[in-house]
Amino acid sequence: MSPQRIELDRINGISLDTSNPPFDNYQAFQSSYDGLRTLAGLVREFECKYIASDPYAAHVAIHISSKVPSLVPCAFNWFSTTLVNYLRLVALVELMNQNSWKSIDIVETSNAQAIKSHCRSYVSTVVPEVYLWRNKVAAHFAATDPFRDDNLGTLEHSIMNPVSFNYPYYYAGIMKKIAGAAESALPTWALTETYERLAPRFWPEMQLPQPTSGA
């Protein structure tokens, strides 16, 4: 790739031409990139510390949420919100490249629905579980803005700290809240596993340290 082109998505072939960008300012890419890397590194550090502290970590069925450091659930929320914003911006670049749009075209009301739909579809395809978590927990707790399809388990689960350790990752939503006959529909996902899975596609230069077995 030319130094003037930044590869944003190596699977879909999306790139940003910095010599002729579709919009004037794109600093959000750098800040989001740095934030995602920092949050993934932070959670990996907690994972490594837990594994190193427990010689039986690889055999523990679950590390209950009450013993998970408070910063870890916050990191999941920050990560999901930042990742969704980052991916929506990647999708916007793709759409603008396809249509030869510039910033002024974003203002056109006739383009608003196409932008919204394209960005939502892209994120839903790349990280459906993180997108759902962002919508039901990170952006706001589902209990504070319930939708018709939110059951009581989901609403109550959203205001817990629903992160648990299951070797070698901290997972969100692995323990389900059951309220009456209703089981939470919040997704299960691991922050560092998600980062590692996405890295070859979006940030191949970034690698997380690998935890060593506690066994």
**14 assigned to some structural domain:** no
Contact 76, 169 (CB under 8 A): no
Residues of the chain with confidence (pLDDT) below 70: 1-3, 60-66, 176-183, 212-215
Domain total of the chain: 1
For the stretch 29-59, pLDDT in tens is: 999 999 999 999 999 999 999 898 888 777 7
For the stretch 184-212, pLDDT in tens is: 777 899 999 999 999 999 999 998 988 76
**197 assigned to some structural domain:** no
Which amino acid, residue 153?
A: G
Q: Which two tokens stand for residue 166?
A: 């299951």
Can you tell me the distance from the alpha carbon of 84 to that of 132, in angstroms, rounded to the nearest whole number?
10
- Full residue range of the structural domain in which residue 157 is found: 35-178
**77 assigned to some structural domain:** yes
**19 assigned to some structural domain:** no
What pLDDT, on the 0 to 100 scale, is given for residue 82?
Answer: 98
Q: Which two tokens stand for residue 130?
A: 């993180």
170 backbone dihedrals φ, ψ, rounded to 5°: -85, 130
**211 assigned to some structural domain:** no
**65 assigned to some structural domain:** yes
